[in-house]
Amino acid sequence: MNKPVKDTSVSVNLPPSAVQELNRRVGAGEFATLDEAVTAALLELEHFRAVELIGGEAAFQALAEGVQADVDSRVGEVDAFKYLHSLKEEYRRLAEIRESRA
C-alpha cells in the first residue's frame, strides 16, 4: 500500500546568490513558495545525476522514449511506486553495464 510522505524540516545554508535566484523565481511566479523552488532544484539535480549515471543525454532520451512506449502500451492504472521502482532498477542496471565497460 502506498503511504504518504511526511514533510520534514531541514535547515541549510545557501550562498546569498542562490537565495536571491530562488526568491527571484518565486517572485516571477515560476514557483508558489521558496520550498517549492528548492524542491524543484533538488529534483533537477537528481535528473542530471540520472543522465550522468546512464551515460549521457542520448542514453537518457532513449530510456525516456522506452518508458513512454511502455506507458502508452499499458491499459488502466499503474501503481506509481512500483513503476518508479522498476525505473530505478533499470537505471541501476544501465549504470552497472556502463561501469563494467569502463
Q: Which amino acid is at 88?
A: K
Integer Cα distance of 64 and 87 in angstroms: 10
Among residues 61, 64, 8, 14, the alpha carbon closest in space to that of 41 is found at 14
Please report whether residue 1 resides in a domain: no
2-42 residue pLDDT tens: 566 677 888 889 999 999 999 999 999 999 999 899 888 88
pLDDT at 78 over 80: no
Total domains in the fold of the chain: 1
pLDDT at 57: 83
Please report whether residue 3 resides in a domain: no
pLDDT at 62: 80
Greater pLDDT, 61 or 71: 61
CA angle 48, 96, 86 (to 5 degrees): 70
pLDDT > 90 fraction of the chain, expressed in percent and rounded: 22
Please report whether residue 79 resides in a domain: yes
> What is the full DSSP assignment across 40-83?
HHHHHHHHHHHHHHTTSHHHHHHHHHHHHHHHHH--S---HHHH
Is residue 72 very low, low, confident or very high in pLDDT (cuts 50, 70, 90)? Answer: low
Please report whether residue 11 resides in a domain: no
pLDDT at 48: 85
* Structural domain of 84: 16-101
